[in-house]
Amino acid sequence: MAITVVGSVAYDTIETPAGRRERCLGGAATYFSLAASYFTDVRVIAVVGEDFGRRQEAVFTARNIDTRGIERAKGKSFFWEGSYMKDLNEAQTQQTDLNVFASFEPKIPEAYRDSEFLFLANIDPVLQRRVREEMPGVKLVAGDTMNYWINDHRPALLEVLKGLDLLLINDAEVRTLGGNSNLLKSARAVMALGPKSLVVKHGEYGATLFHGSTPKSEEPEAFRAPAMLLEEVIDPTGAGDSFAGGFFGYLASVPEITPATYRRAMFYGSVMGSFACERFGTERTQQLSRKEIDNRFELFRRLTHLD
Amino acid sequence: MAITVVGSVAYDTIETPAGRRERCLGGAATYFSLAASYFTDVRVIAVVGEDFGRRQEAVFTARNIDTRGIERAKGKSFFWEGSYMKDLNEAQTQQTDLNVFASFEPKIPEAYRDSEFLFLANIDPVLQRRVREEMPGVKLVAGDTMNYWINDHRPALLEVLKGLDLLLINDAEVRTLGGNSNLLKSARAVMALGPKSLVVKHGEYGATLFHGSTPKSEEPEAFRAPAMLLEEVIDPTGAGDSFAGGFFGYLASVPEITPATYRRAMFYGSVMGSFACERFGTERTQQLSRKEIDNRFELFRRLTHLD
């Protein structure tokens, strides 16, 4: 089933101990789409500037990603510059130029309206909500956010959370949003705000899935997936969005979603997140095969299973 | 098979967000012994002062732990005071009084000499090495250490590492000892110093096992166990030593050690570490049953296994 994703398509300048790349293709919607495209059809809603050319567009179309929802506006694309020289687990932002993104008004192409899955990447919750409301027919809605919206735009974010089936955020964010340093307590507090399920990303330590809807059933309330042990993290940019793409893409690809589907989705999320770190930007995620993905899935099984 | 452990038996004063306890029984050898005692016979080598009485001794004997190697010296027992008010994952040491521990000279009772397993808890590496050399007949030797010995007593520590089958240390320690911020690279560097296997404890994110001896075989080089999601961490003191006790205790309890044994040992380590956090000091670990332990082992399986 098709996923529509709304979020940023951007240029990133990235510095890590492995090197530096100027203005490579980035943005949450880019990483998400590429990762999800190995599992299902993906349609993007974003805005780019006049600096977004045929070569960038080809990165999407090569993966059969529908780009009709990528609007071209007058001006420059969203630009971000970050450095991981101090800590590979946390980018130091050097520069953020919103450019055309500052006045982003998501427009949903007619051809996208039959999408069964919707992913609201990390953008202004006011826009997330608008897109959500304009697509009332979707089966499953997931979203991401960040500390800026949690701290400074909480009322708008709370409105979005009410409508989410699934929220994917990182470790620090769930503790901030849930208001408790205990992960389990914060996870429950966040799910009480709306999301039926919650995925907490722990960076190099993996991720935890919480199922709010089944606390008293026989099914486990939580599932933990590890992260891959990588020889070298070249560039962690987009790892979280790639996780979300693998996770949500896999969910959208199965005929029926069960608790076992969610567990496998956690592994596919970790798999796609791990590939993202192996080269700069989207370099690795552009060039994968489903076989490579499934081989790594099996590595994750061996890394975690007793027998 | 029997384990001999050498390490500290101490009094701890502990402050956490859940409360404060004055002078409760602690020390690495205490936590280790109690945890391991649910799996196999345990024998302790330590030194205590005149303040160590019948009530403290009974904590060991109630779990059938051999205390003939606990020497009574003139003076006071090792005392440590720590606070977790700032961060539940890292104690702030308020006070350390080595007392009788300052002149600890481990003496190995004759009855201990047929032990097949030896655990060198976190003490001066000079003493670790002496005990190791005085027990040449042991089948498997494991050890722990800490940043103080890694940074300030490296030559002595390196001598100990040469003789270890297994080293269990925490995340920050392996990166310091291995000299690399990448976990996998540091793990390999540490194993090149001697230990055939390495367990890295990640606190609330679980633990990773590295098998140095089988990098090119069909067996996975690494195995990752998660940590339990606890409603409330009452007191994390001794969680790492309890992990080591569960891990090594389980290894000592099976007729043959295979790669699958190591994986199960990782789960038993996580199980015992999780129990340790549920009450102050050794309160929880004193009162367990093997059934509770095995039930939690199954929870860990459900928390991590796809099917």
By mean pLDDT, which of A44-58, B83-97, B118-132, B206-220 is the weakest? B206-220
Whether pLDDT at A218 is above 80: no
Q: Is the pLDDT of residue A213 over 70?
A: no
Report the residue of chain B nearest A225, measured CA to CA.
B304
Task: State yes or no: pLDDT of A220 exceeds 70.
Answer: no
| Nearest Cα residue in chain A from B262 | A306
Q: What confidence score (pLDDT) does residue B220 get? A: 56
Task: Name the residue among B224, B225, B260 with its Cβ closest to that of A307.
Answer: B260
Which of B204, B277, B306, B307 to probe by mutation at the A interface, max A CB count within 10 Å? B306
The alpha carbon of residue A21 is apart from the nearest alpha carbon of chain B, in Å, by 21
Q: Is B216 a residue whose pLDDT tops 70?
A: no
Which band of pLDDT confidence, cut at 50, 70 and 90, is reported for residue A211? confident
pLDDT tens, position by position, A284-295? 999 999 999 999
Question: Which of A222, A229, A307 faces B229 most closely, judged by CB atoms?
Answer: A222
pLDDT at B183 over 90: yes
* Best residue of A229, A235, A261, A297 to probe chain B, by most B CBs closer than 10 Å: A229
> Looking at this predicted complex, what is its ipTM?
0.92
A204 touches B at CB < 8 Å? yes
pLDDT digits (tens, 9 = 90+) for A108-146: 999 999 999 999 999 999 999 999 999 999 999 999 999
Residues of B in contact with A267 (CB under 8 A): 306
Mean pLDDT estimate for chain B: 95
CB contact A172 to B (< 8 Å) = no
Q: What is the pLDDT of residue A215?
A: 46
Say if residues A25 and A282 touch (Cβ distance below 8 Å).
yes
Binned at pLDDT 50, 70 and 90, residue B221 comes out as: confident
pLDDT of residue B89: 85
CB distance B303–A205 less than 8 Å?
Answer: no
* A208 at B interface, C-beta within 8 A: yes
Nearest CA in chain A to B267: A306
pLDDT band with cut points at 50, 70 and 90 for residue B215: very low
Residues of B whose CB is below 8 A from A225: 304
Which positions in chain A touch B268 (Cβ < 8 Å)? Answer: none
- Mutate which of B84, B184, B305 to disrupt the A interface (most A C-beta within 10 Å)? B305
To the nearest whole Å, the CA of A18 is away from the closest chain B CA by 13
Per-residue pLDDT tens for B35-82?
999 999 999 999 999 999 999 999 999 999 999 999 999 999 999 999
Q: What is the dihedral of CA B45, B46, B50, B54, to 10 degrees?
A: -50
Q: Which of B181, B230, B304 sits opposite A224 (nearest CB)?
A: B304
Q: Do A202 and B206 touch (CB under 8 A)?
A: no
Share of chain B above pLDDT 70, in %: 97
pLDDT confidence of residue A90 = 87
> Which chain B residues have a beta carbon less than 8 Å from that of A305?
304-306
Nearest CA in chain B to A223: B303
Average pLDDT in chain A:
95
Inspect the interface and report whether the beta carbons of B306 and A305 lie closer than 8 Å: yes
How far CA B63 is from CA of B30, B70, B270, B279, B287, in Å, comes to: 11, 15, 20, 18, 9
Average pLDDT over residues A266-283: 97
